[in-house]
Structure 1
């Protein structure tokens, strides 16, 4: 779209993200002091429009409902809060450019129009980048945690079993033995009286007597040991890939390549910056 002399067309319109989601209402437009091109939009965002965010207008397109910018709602809502003071410092402006992935040039931008309630016309800075936009690429990373759950219940149950036990015991018993001895004594005539005579002898024997007593034989205890094992965890993670669409076809390129055919900054190099 033509970015010149369209400040009045911007203000009060609805701004949408790259997926068509509503961001908020454009309150004030800031133009480059040299080219008078709209460069930044101050947009009402958040619940009931109580929050303000600066959104770069480079690469914006118009539709029937308003304007669309090549950024996601998450990127816009997480933009640095630089406030609405009288002048935007170079440090604050550099933070905005870094957040949106746009190189910082340091040229001055100025607020145009009346703006919304509670926001004054302030001087801002920007750089003329033309129709330029950025797309953030995301990846899922696998994070593995641990949770403790019961795996087994161990009980000690004591039961009574009966089994036969045999042992040998020596027993004694009494018996009689008859001994006969001859005598040479002669009885005096008339001195012995014949008659019956009886003599008793008691015999004894031993019998086994069984008694049982309880004796402690063994003690069984349960103790817990912790054993460590390594287990491999495998899952699928999603990675975003960026395809650059050109006239005549779609060419897939990595996130580190630029659209000009040169070599950009790779993911590893970006992480080191």
Structure 2
């Protein structure tokens, strides 16, 4: 028997018969006047507007499926309801269902029921609460949620910079002034001032005079002198990057009387 605590998890589950054949999926649930789940509709086709009803007092939840102790054909031939209707089951409809499945009031009681009578009400389960197929009953509002991207940054090494000093040889030219001595011939007449020096020595003789000449030449040498100091500095710059990711968003649609299906987003 499917109890009140299981009813929200039943909607949308697949229904299998006593031979393990799939019948369809659970659409809606009806409760008895005491609020206990009593009947569920089963969608047995893709396009059918009617849904067959099964008794929940003899149904069981096994893993992700609902099983009933009836043949698939029996369920498909059961009294059905309009899939778009939102009306309580009448006493006559309940009586027809009991007869079709061969159930009696005593059968329901032996399964833990409390006497299913003709006073059935619509069981979209309890009109005072909402029914979330993914969790427990909530209030009469539906919450729509969506995922959002949370973007942060992390610090990681992007590269390494280093200073390295090496020696290269270049050719330079410098213009340097140099001096040199040149010989010139100077003549002076014999005068009273120099006659003494002129007559010093033999009257006639052979003689040589020698003059040493000097000249400057460039001398190249090098010395190391400091020119500048170089260091590595860091600064922080800010760029922008565009990132993206997949997010899921819930959408809500409503089916309104005389309006059909409407997207609320």
Identify the TM-score tier after normalising by the shorter chain.
Answer: 0.3 to 0.5
Structure with greater Cα Rg: 2
TM-score by length of 2: 0.43
Question: Comparing both chains, which one has the higher relative contact order based on Cα–Cα distances under 8 Å and sequence gaps of 6 or more?
Answer: 2
TM-score by length of 1: 0.42
